[in-house]
Structure 1
C-alpha cells in the first residue's frame, strides 16, 4: 500500500509540473487541466469538513478562514474571466484584426483552463457556477471589449497578488504564481493594443486602493476586488464573504 501511494504521489507531482512547464498546445492544456489537479485535489478534499465554504440557495459563500476560501475566490474570478472571453471569442467585434481574434481565442483557452484547474482542485469543496451580467459591455465595439478586458486582467493580477499572503501551502502558492504570471501577460498585451507602451499604467487600480509604489505590481484585497465598482458589478450571484 505504501509503495502504491508513493507511485501515485510521484505521478501526481509529474502531472502538476507538466501542467505549468513545457510546451503544451492550447487545446492540450485545456484537456490536461482536469487530470493534472488530482494530487492537489486530495488536499482540498481532506479539508472539506472544516472548509466553511458551501453552496447556499442565496448565493456562494467565500470563507477566508482557510486556503479553501482563497482557492474558491480564485475560482470565482476565473469563472468571470472565462465567461467574458468565451463570449468575445464566439463573436468578436467586426473591427478586430485577424491577429486580435487569434489572441483572444488563445486567452479564452487560458482562462477556461484556469477555471477548470480550480474546479478540479476544489472538487466537492468548490462553490457553484456563478451567474454573470455583462449587460454593461458593448461586445460589438472593439473599444468596449478591450476596455473590459483591460479591467478584468488588471483586476485579476491585483487579486492574485492580494490573496497570496493568505496561502501557506507550497503547491497552492506555486500554482497561483504561475497563473498570475499568465494573467499579467494578458494584461500587458491588452494594454498594448489599446495604447502602445501603456502596459505599466495602473491608474484605475490605484483608484480602487491599490498600492503600486516601488515598481511593484498592483495588489488588492478580496473585499476591494469583489466591490460593486470592480468585479462585483459583473456577478449576479450573491457572494457572501466571511472571516476576511
Structure 2
C-alpha cells in the first residue's frame, strides 16, 4: 500500500509541508538570462491579464498570451510538485547519482514555476492542488514511468502551444524552457532504458506537439483544482 500524496503550492512558492530548496546555486544560475527576460515582461503581462472572457466554472487562465503562459505555469506547478515528492520520499534503491540529478530536475522545475509566477504577477492563476495518489513513490519503475510521462507531456505541450504565442520575447522564453524539458526527458528515458536512444522523436526526427486541450485532459488525472480551459487555443 502507498500513501496518498495530495498537497498544494503555497503563495510564497513552497509546497505545503516541504522545505523550499535553494535554487540560487549552480543549477539556478544557468537561468540568469532567462530570469531577467521574464521579469522584465511581468509588468506588461499583469497590465493585460485582467480579462476573464469565459462564463464557465473553474480557474480562469485569462486570454491571449496570458492564457498560454498560465497554461505553462499550471504544468510547471505540477512538475515541481511531482519532483519535490520524489526527493522528499526517494524510491527504494535510488543511487547517489540518481538522487543528485533528480534533485537538479526538481530545482529546474521550481525555477520554471517561479519565473512564470513573477512574470504573470497579478495575472497568475492560483496555486493548484495536485493528487499523486495513483503513483507508488516507493517503486523506481513507477516513479520513472510517471516522470517520463510528465516530461514527454511537457515537451509536447510547449511545442503545441508555441504557435499561439504572439509576443516574440515570450516565444523565445518558451523555447529556452522546452529545451531544458527535453533534456530532462532524455535523462529520464536513459534511466528507464539505459543505453538506448533517449528520444521520443518521430520518423522525421521531430518531437511531438500536443494541443492545450489534450494536454490538460491528460494532466487532469493529477490536478484536483478545476481549471476552465475555454479561453485556451483549440
TM over 0.5: yes
Q: Which residue of the other structure, out of 99, 105, 108, is the alignment partner of 1:107?
A: 105
Larger Rg: 1
Report 1 or 2 for greater relative contact order, CA contacts < 8 Å, sequence distance ≥ 6. Answer: 2
| Aligned match of 1:235 | 223
Partner SS, residue 210 of structure 2: coil
Could you list the runs of 5+ residues in structure 2 that have no partner in the other structure?
Answer: 1-24
Q: CA RMSD in A?
A: 2.4
The within-5 A match list for 1:72-111 is: 72-111=70-109
Could you list the runs of 5+ residues in structure 1 that have no partner in the other structure?
Answer: 1-23, 203-211
The within-5 A match list for 1:1-244 is: 25-28=26-29, 37-50=38-51, 52=53, 59-63=58-62, 65-196=63-194, 197-201=196-200, 212-227=202-217, 230-243=218-231, 244=233
Say if 2:61 and 2:229, in contact at 8 Å, map to a contact too: yes
Distance 1:137 1:161, change over 3 A: same
In structure 2, what is the Cα distance between the partners aligned to 1:118 and 1:185? Answer: 20
Q: Name the structure where helix makes up a greater proportion of residues.
A: 1
Partner SS, residue 50 of structure 1: coil
In structure 1, what is the Cα distance between the partners aligned to 2:91 and 2:32? Answer: 28
Say if 2:39 and 2:115, in contact at 8 Å, map to a contact too: no
* TM-score with structure 1 setting the length: 0.78
Say if 1:34 and 1:116, in contact at 8 Å, map to a contact too: no
Say if 2:59 and 2:227, in contact at 8 Å, map to a contact too: yes
* TM-score with structure 2 setting the length: 0.81
Say if 2:79 and 2:150, in contact at 8 Å, map to a contact too: yes
Distance 1:165 1:86, change over 3 A: same
Deviation (angstroms), 1:33? 7.8
Partner SS, residue 48 of structure 1: coil
Q: Deviations over 1:169-199 (max 9, x none)?
A: 1110111000000000000000011113142
Deviation (angstroms), 1:164? 0.2
In structure 1, what is the Cα distance between the partners aligned to 2:58 and 2:125? Answer: 9
Say if 1:60 and 1:127, in contact at 8 Å, map to a contact too: yes
Partner SS, residue 204 of structure 2: helix
In structure 2, what is the Cα distance between the partners aligned to 1:131 and 1:110? Answer: 20
Deviation (angstroms), 1:38? 2.6
How many residue pairs match? The answer is 207
